[in-house]
Each structure stands twice: as structure tokens, then as C-alpha cells.
Amino acid sequence: MRILALGDIVGHVAIDYLAEKLWAFRAQNKIDFCVANGENATEIRGISAADAEAILGTGVDLITLGNHAFGMKDIYSYLDANEHCIIRPANYPTDAPGVGYTIFGVNNWRVLCINVSGRVYLDPLASPFDTVDRILDREAGRYDVALLDIHAEATSEKLAIGRYFDGRVQVMFGTHTHVPTADEQVLPLGSGYITDLGMCGPQNGILGTDADAVIHRFRTMMPTRFSVADGPVSAQGVIFDVDEGAGKVRKVTRVSF
Ligand SMILES: [Fe+2]
């Protein structure tokens, strides 16, 4: 099974870009399942129901989220109504809209897909370690392959989560920081891992945001309205080549298109 994981989709320009390119990329690379982080899709302020629908129309099978999951009000009811194809971090309080994991059917295999948030420089949510441990226990026997989007700021926290779940969650990738890391690897017990996928968005700004606004914010420390950067768009991510029968990943390959 070949799984494509795409970094944070930043703005409508990135949705339009994926609509143009993703189906062809999937076909060329024999992708069976595509997951993308969508929490910055609505001009860096969360994700609206309409933009979630649009992303799912581009060839993304499952949307994961993060600290901006609840930025747009109309996503609340959409999350509850579409638990099979959009998930938010599982370590939010139980009253939060939506769910933190789902089981997706891919080529007759069951893929348990989990989204979790780190806690370093982010909201003080429940432990990502304990949260994922509980989900794996609860769903034991109901899945063949497990996948985890670790939406976190600190590379150390992402690596700690990756190493902790090595051999139990086969496909693991970090999101949120928008800069791809060069540490794609198969961990000692057979899980595929990368600390950050990068992003799908305009590459000339700062993390997809207009550079002048970000520089103004850092220089003056004044409240600043951010907007999506101009310029050429590209998509960054990773392909996991999964041996689903053995429960291991053969290869992790960084991709950009
Ligand atoms: Fe984020």
C-alpha cells in the first residue's frame, strides 16, 4: 500500500493547486490513500465546511487538523457529520466537535488514522502519548495499519512520540511547522517517520504567510493581520511504502510537486 501524506494546505491558492495536480500525481505514483493537513486552508484561519469539501474533491481522502481546527464556526457541525473523512486532534476535551480518529478502508485493509496535538508551545491538552495508547487499546483487532499525524511545534516532542509508537503505529508524520525536515526514515521497529512534511502553499512567503506582515509583527510586536503569500505554489509531503501484511514500512520518500 502506498500512502501519500501532504503538509499543511495554506489558503485557497493551495486548494486550487491540488485540484489541478493531485489526481495526476496520485496516478503516476500509484497512491492508494492520501491524507493532508487542512487546518490553514481557509486563508490561515482554520477550515470552513466549503473548503473541507473542496479539499476532499482534489483527491485527498482524509483531512487532519490541529490547533486551528476550530477557527471557523461552520466546521463544528461539519466535523460531527463527516467523521469518516475529517478528524481533529484526539487529545482535545471530549466535548469538542468531531472525532480524533477514524478507520479507513484502503484496498480491503483497515487503516486506523489518528490525529494528535503536541503540547510544547501549544494548548495544554491531554497527553498525546496516553491518548494514542488508549485509542490503540480500544481499537485492537479492528485495524491492520495505524497512521498518526503529530501536529506539534517542537521537533523533540514529535520525535519522542514517533519513537514511543515505533512498531505500533506504522505511518507517522509531523505537521504544523510548514518546513519539511530531512529526517524521513524507517525507525528500528519498522515504522515510517518524518518530523515535518512541509506544506502545500506559496513558497515565497513565511510558512505560506505574506512575509511583510510577519516581519512587521516580529519587529514591532504589534497585532498584525496575516494573509496568504503571493507567488508560485507547490505541494510537499511524503510517500510511505507500506508492507501491510508485515505491519512495517519499507520506505519513506519525500516528494514535492
Ligand atoms: Fe498548526
Categorize the per-residue pLDDT at 125 as very low, low, confident or very high, splitting at 50, 70 and 90.
very high
Where do the structural domains in the chain lie, given as residue ranges?
A: 2-202+235-256
Whether the CB-CB separation of 43 and 209 falls below 8 Å is answered with no
User: Which residue did the predictor score with more confidence, 99 or 45?
Assistant: 99
pLDDT of residue 166: 98
Share of the chain above pLDDT 90, in %: 99
CA distance linking residue 133 with residue 88, whole number of Å: 17
pLDDT reported for residue 257: 98
Per DSSP bridges, beta strands 2-6 and 33-37 are: parallel
* The pLDDT value given to residue 236: 98
Q: How far is the CA of 133 from the centre of ligand 1 (A)?
A: 22
Residues 6+ apart with CB under 8 A from 220: none
Q: What is the pLDDT of residue 105?
A: 96
User: Which DSSP letter does residue 153 get?
Assistant: S
pLDDT tens digits, 78-96: 999 999 999 999 999 999 9
What pLDDT does 151 receive? 98
Bridge-based pairing state of the strands 192-194 and 185-186: antiparallel
Q: Give the span between the Cα atoms of 73 and 110, in whole angstroms.
A: 31
- For 31, the grid coordinates are 497512491
Give distance in angstroms: CA of 44 to centre of ligand 1. Answer: 9
pLDDT bucket at 138, cuts 50 / 70 / 90: very high
Task: Quickly state the pLDDT bin for 157 (edges 50, 70, 90).
Answer: very high
Tens digits of per-residue pLDDT, 212-241? 999 999 999 999 999 999 999 999 999 999
164-188: b (≥16 Cβ within 10 Å) or e:
ebbebbbbbbbbbbbebbebbebbe
Q: What is the CA radius of gyration of the chain?
A: 17
**For the residues 105-128, what does the mean pLDDT come to?**
97
Q: How far is the C-alpha of 64 from the C-alpha of 113, rounded, in Å?
A: 9
Catalytic site residues? 68
The pLDDT score that the predictor gives to residue 78 is: 98
Ligand 1 center to 153 CA (angstroms): 8
Residues forming beta bridges with residue 190, ordered by sequence position = none
- Amino acid making up residue 216: H
CA of 118 to the centre of ligand 1 (A): 10
Give residue 34's pLDDT.
Answer: 98
Q: What is the CATH number of domain 2-202+235-256?
A: 3.60.21.10
Tell me the β-bridge partners of 34.
Answer: 4
CA dist 114 → 12, 46, 136 (Å)? 25, 19, 10
Distance 253 CA to ligand 1 centre (A): 23
Question: What share of the chain has pLDDT > 70, as a percent?
Answer: 100
How many whole angstroms separate alpha carbon 59 and alpha carbon 45? 22
CA 115 to CA 83: how far, in whole Å?
Answer: 12
pLDDT tens digits, one per residue of 181-196: 999 999 999 999 999 9
The Å distance, Cα 220 to ligand 1 centre, comes to 23
